[in-house]
Amino acid sequence: MKRLPKQVILLSLISLFTDMASEMLYPITPIFLTSVLGASMAVVGMIEGLAEVTAGLLKGYFGVLSDKLGKRSIFVVFGYALSAISKPLPGVFPNTLAVLFSRITDRIGKGVRTAPRDALLASYAENNTGAVFGFHRAMDTLGAVIGPLLALLMLNFFKFNYQIIFIIAFIPSLIAVLFTFLIKDKKLEKSLQLKTNLPAFWKSSPSQYKTLFILITIFSLVNSSDVFLILKSKNISGSDTLAIAGYIFYNIVYAASSYPLGILSDKIGKKKVFIIGLLIFSVVYFGFASLTSFVFIWILFAFYGIYASSTEGVLKAWVSDLVPDQNRGSAIGLITMSSSIAVMLGSILAGYLWDIFGSHVPFYLSSAVSLLVAVLLYRFSKSKS
């Protein structure tokens, strides 16, 4: 197993602290919206959807821009800084508009940094993209374990004062921003830098990439925000604490399995690992729709962690293997842009279906479509990566 470069470790530490802050807020935000501010499920879905589409649209643009400039680090610094300053806003201004503004500003930062950062990660890989992205996802998700644990502790210590948690979340975000100043670009030769735009990149991109792009976009339409899993867990358990604890358990499994599954994807192929992840997703969402015991929900959260580690980093590693270094910002940016827009539509649809027909309908729909995408990906994708 190859030693991971220093820059990969630094980028992973940045993600750890940022996700620590973000995940302090992610599981409590839907509860804060519905229980404290009185927002409906449709409003929760709209906020999450708008936040995701904002990030998605920017990922494509800044991915291309980083390819054109041949520089990634400046986008990393600015993106993480923007997300950091958005964290405390709902704590200072406790209303639905402040939550919306905070989420969108945070996602703008994510949109600025994601594709350049992932292209930078891939540039430091040496035929081990699965391991590189797997390690990054593991550290990122470790932050997602620590964050909700801190949120639970603070909820009890501050007697469910949600506002103060939004303010405290700024601290780990600031630590992450300080680390970004240590990030260095791996320079491209000017002759290799991208000289075209996103439509032209799409036209010249490999057919395997196009197939993957289309199928991931379809899947993303039913891959709605994880806040719906948290709220479903709360409905089943009747407890905010148990719902957040289930989400923490999911992230523990996610963090623990990301690096090993990344290494496995380097050995047996990204496509195989990714398809297994989609099949697990289908089973998990079917279970959330059907089961009513919180014991089973914990089991489903564990499998959901394996799904995430089989797909999140693996997809980016797969894309990085399909395109050359000078095009990776565009390739990753385009596929994440499309999937984010689809997640927005899916989140709004899931919230609407939940309000009108009950929670089981959006979960059954997600289960069926993800199974279909897994079958299509197995049949039509010719990738050997």
Task: Tell me the mean pLDDT in the region 2-25.
Answer: 90
Q: Tell me, what's the pLDDT at 83? A: 93
Whose CA is closest to 249, among 192, 288, 297?
297
Average pLDDT, the chain: 86
Task: Tell me the mean pLDDT in the region 345-366.
Answer: 88
Using the predicted structure, report yes or no on whether residue 281 has a pLDDT greater than 90: yes
Q: Tell me, what's the pLDDT at 325? A: 79
Q: Tell me, what's the pLDDT at 256? A: 92
Q: Tell me, what's the pLDDT at 139? A: 94
Q: Tell me, what's the pLDDT at 71? A: 84
DSSP three-state, residue 212: helix
Percent of residues, the chain, with pLDDT higher than 90: 40
Q: What is the spatial distance between Cα 51 and Cα 108, in angstroms, rounded to a whole number? A: 8
For the chain, how many helices (H) and strands (E)?
Answer: 17, 0
Transcribe 50-67 into DSSP letters.
HHHHHHHHHHHHHHHHHH
CA 266: distance to chain centroid? 21
Q: What is the spatial distance between Cα 365 and Cα 183, in angstroms, rounded to a whole number? A: 42
At residue 276 the predicted structure's pLDDT band, cuts being 50, 70 and 90, is very high
Using the predicted structure, report yes or no on whether residue 191 has a pLDDT greater than 50: no
Using the predicted structure, report yes or no on whether residue 68 has a pLDDT greater than 70: yes
Least confident of 21-25, 49-53, 123-127, 366-370: 49-53
Q: DSSP state, 87?
A: T
Q: Which residue has the higher pLDDT, 95 or 253?
A: 253
**Architecture of the structural domain at 8-184+196-380:** Up-down Bundle (1.20)
Transcribe 23-84 into DSSP letters.
HHHTTHHHHIIIIIS---HHHHHHHHHHHHHHHHHHHHHHHHHHHHHT--HHHHHHHHHHHH
Question: What number of other Cβ atoms are within 10 A of residue 93's Cβ?
Answer: 14
Whose CA is closest to 16, among 111, 168, 141?
141
Q: Tell me, what's the pLDDT at 153? A: 87
Rg (CA), the chain: 19
Using the predicted structure, report yes or no on whether residue 261 has a pLDDT greater than 90: yes
Using the predicted structure, report yes or no on whether residue 92 has a pLDDT greater than 50: yes
pLDDT tens for 294-329 read: 788 889 999 999 999 999 889 999 998 898 878 888
Residues contacting residue 379 through CB under 8 Å, at least 6 positions apart = none
Q: Tell me, what's the pLDDT at 188? A: 58
Q: Which residue has the higher pLDDT, 27 or 353?
A: 353
Using the predicted structure, report yes or no on whether residue 272 has a pLDDT greater than 70: yes
Q: What is the spatial distance between Cα 268 and Cα 355, in angstroms, rounded to a whole number? A: 42
Task: Tell me the mean pLDDT in the region 285-300.
Answer: 86
Q: Tell me, what's the pLDDT at 10? A: 95
Using the predicted structure, report yes or no on whether residue 125 has a pLDDT greater than 70: yes
Q: Tell me, what's the pLDDT at 136? A: 94
Q: Tell me, what's the pLDDT at 9? A: 94
The H or E element containing residue 274 is helix 270-290
Give this prediction's pTM: 0.80
Residues contacting residue 369 through CB under 8 Å, at least 6 positions apart = 218, 219, 221, 222
Q: Tell me, what's the pLDDT at 301? A: 92
Task: Tell me the mean pLDDT in the region 103-113.
Answer: 91
Transcribe 296-364 into DSSP letters.
HHHHHHHHHHHHHHHHHHHHHHHHHHHS-GGGHHHHHHHHHHHHHHHHHHHHHHHHHHHHHH-THHHHH
Q: Tell me, what's the pLDDT at 192? A: 47
Q: Tell me, what's the pLDDT at 195? A: 52
Residue boundaries of the structural domains of the chain: 8-184+196-380
